[in-house]
């Protein structure tokens, strides 16, 4: 199939293109589109065949449920059995935005969309192209990240094209995704609610609105053998082709250790990659160095993480060392993705 690519301008979103894309979704086809988190691979969430096409296009295991995207808060009540009062308060504060909530589903939502679960994950994105597309498609768009399963999520239309060209009907190009990491996921079907995936809406931000929240143990202690409650969190993810290790310690110790390891690796004939920041990049004497941006602006680091992981796949490095990041605000979400990409290989210095 030939994939149509349509560029959209946020200052003047072209209704004709949105309607064309909406029609593809209504007919059971697939359209990738920008959201404020990462690009999504959309299909009609209420059409079981569309979900099956999504799993096939991504090469995603079909027990890994899809997030249903809506454009109007009222539509939530059409697909779930109940909305707890705490979820209503989170909706008030964080929708539209990068927060996904899990509810008991009703019979409107096919089991293919939820990977056989009796719960459904729902999000209302703030991105205006996403919102217009969801409305044009009839209100309910199932959309996982628009990448081939296992690869880093996509933050530009070019990345989507790299992974999905020829497998989907259309890509809407809205430029670079501003957050760059997938949404926070919080399970509202239990009490207290449980964070299943960290993201730009942090634990502290939600606790300020609804009080105590738990964090899924599989996120805190990934080696504990605890099965994650979000099925997708159990799969290897984001992995670059080269071996990636995260180096943890004070900034000075990390720079010294990476320089030392890079020298040893090069002596053995290996090509080395380094994930650094604007403040530290010039301190590395060898290797291919890519910066994630300014360390003091965690949002910038988050926005570039997946892009840099993909950039390394276009090089011939054999191993990559990455600096690590503060565990504040969006820091836990950055570290969650980075550690997953590294298969939890950490070097403490």
Which residues are at the interface with ligand AMP (CB under 6 A)?
Answer: 64-65, 67, 102, 114, 117, 119-121, 144-145, 182, 185, 196, 229-233
Comparing CB distances to ligand AMP, the nearer of 188 and 272 is 188
* Closer of 86 and 229 to ligand AMP (Cβ): 229
The minimum distance between CB 295 and ligand AMP, in angstroms, equals 26
Nearest distance, CB of residue 56 and ligand AMP, angstroms: 15
CB of 225 to ligand AMP, least distance (A): 18
Q: How far is the CB of 41 from ligand AMP (least distance, A)?
A: 8
Phi-psi region of 202 (alpha: psi -120 to 50; beta: other; left: phi over 0): beta
CA 328, 329, 330, 332 dihedral sign is: positive
Tell me which of ligand AMP, Mg ion, none is bound by residue 67, counting a contact when its beta carbon lies within the kind-specific cut-off of 5 to 8 angstroms. Answer: ligand AMP
Q: What are phi and psi of 33, to 5 degrees?
A: -150, 155
**Contact of residue 258 among Mg ion, ligand AMP, none (CB under 5-8 Å per partner type):** none
Q: Which of 10, 26, 314 is nearest to 170 (CA)?
A: 26
Q: Are 193 and 214 in contact (CB under 8 A)?
A: yes
Helix (H) or strand (E) holding 340, with range, is: helix 331-341
Residue number, 27 or 190, with CB nearest to ligand AMP: 190
Q: How far is CA 76 from CA 16, 100, 241, in A?
A: 27, 12, 39
* Residue, CB closest to ligand AMP: 232
b/e sequence 282-297, b meaning 16+ C-beta within 10 Å: ebbeebbbbbbbebee
Q: Are residues 140 and 134 in contact, defined by beta-carbon separation less than 8 angstroms? A: yes
Nearer to ligand AMP, 80 or 289 (CB): 80
120 or 261: CB nearest Mg ion: 120
- H or E segment and range at residue 290: strand 288-291
Q: Min. distance of Cβ 185 from ligand AMP in angstroms?
A: 5
Q: What is the nearest approach in angstroms of ligand AMP to the Cβ of residue 188?
A: 11
Nearer to ligand AMP, 117 or 281 (CB): 117
- For residue 145, the minimal CB distance to ligand AMP (Å) is 4
Q: How far apart are CA 21 and CA 44, in angstroms?
A: 12
Best CA proximity match to 320, nearest among 302, 293, 347: 347
Residues that bind Mg ion (CB under 5 A): 145
Report the half-sphere exposure of 227 (CA within 13 A, side-chain side): 2
Rank residues 87 and 255 by Cβ distance to ligand AMP and give the closer one: 87
**Phi first, then psi: what are they for 80, rounded to 5°?**
-120, 160
């Amino acid at each position: 199939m030939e994939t149509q690519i349509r560029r959209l301008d946020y200052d003047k979103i072209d209704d004709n293109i949105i309607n064309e894309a909406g029609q593809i979704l209504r007919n059971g086809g697939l359209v990738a589109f920008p959201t404020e988190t990462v690009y999504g691979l959309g299909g009609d969430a209420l059409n079981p065949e569309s979900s099956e096409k999504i799993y096939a296009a991504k090469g995603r295991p079909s027990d890994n449920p899809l997030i249903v995207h809506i454009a109007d808060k009222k539509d939530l009540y059409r697909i779930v059995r109940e909305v707890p009062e705490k979820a209503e308060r989170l909706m008030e504060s964080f929708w539209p935005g990068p927060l996904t909530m899990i509810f008991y589903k009703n019979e409107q939502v096919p089991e293919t969309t939820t990977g056989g679960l009796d719960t459904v994950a729902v999000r209302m994105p703030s991105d205006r192209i996403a919102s217009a597309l969801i409305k044009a498609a009839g209100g309910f768009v199932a959309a996982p990240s628009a990448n081939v399963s296992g690869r880093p999520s996509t933050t530009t239309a070019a990345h989507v094209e790299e992974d999905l060209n020829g497998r989907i009907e259309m890509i809407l190009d809205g430029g670079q995704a501003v957050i760059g990491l997938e949404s926070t996921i919080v399970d509202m079907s239990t009490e207290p609610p449980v964070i299943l995936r960290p993201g730009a809406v942090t634990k502290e931000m939600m606790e300020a609105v609804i009080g105590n929240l738990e964090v899924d143990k599989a996120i805190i202690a990934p080696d504990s053998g605890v099965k994650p409650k979000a099925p997708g969190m159990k799969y290897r993810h984001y992995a670059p082709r080269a071996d990636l290790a995260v180096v943890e310690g004070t900034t000075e110790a990390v720079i010294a250790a990476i320089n030392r390891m890079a020298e040893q690796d090069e002596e053995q004939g290996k090509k080395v990659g380094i994930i650094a920041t604007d403040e530290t990049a010039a301190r590395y004497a060898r290797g291919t160095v890519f910066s994630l941006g300014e360390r003091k602006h965690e949002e910038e680091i988050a926005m570039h993480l997946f892009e840099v992981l993909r950039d390394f796949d276009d090089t011939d490095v054999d191993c990559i060392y990455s600096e690590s990041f503060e565990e504040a605000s969006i820091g836990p979400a950055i570290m969650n993705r980075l550690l997953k990409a590294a298969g939890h290989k950490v070097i403490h210095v």
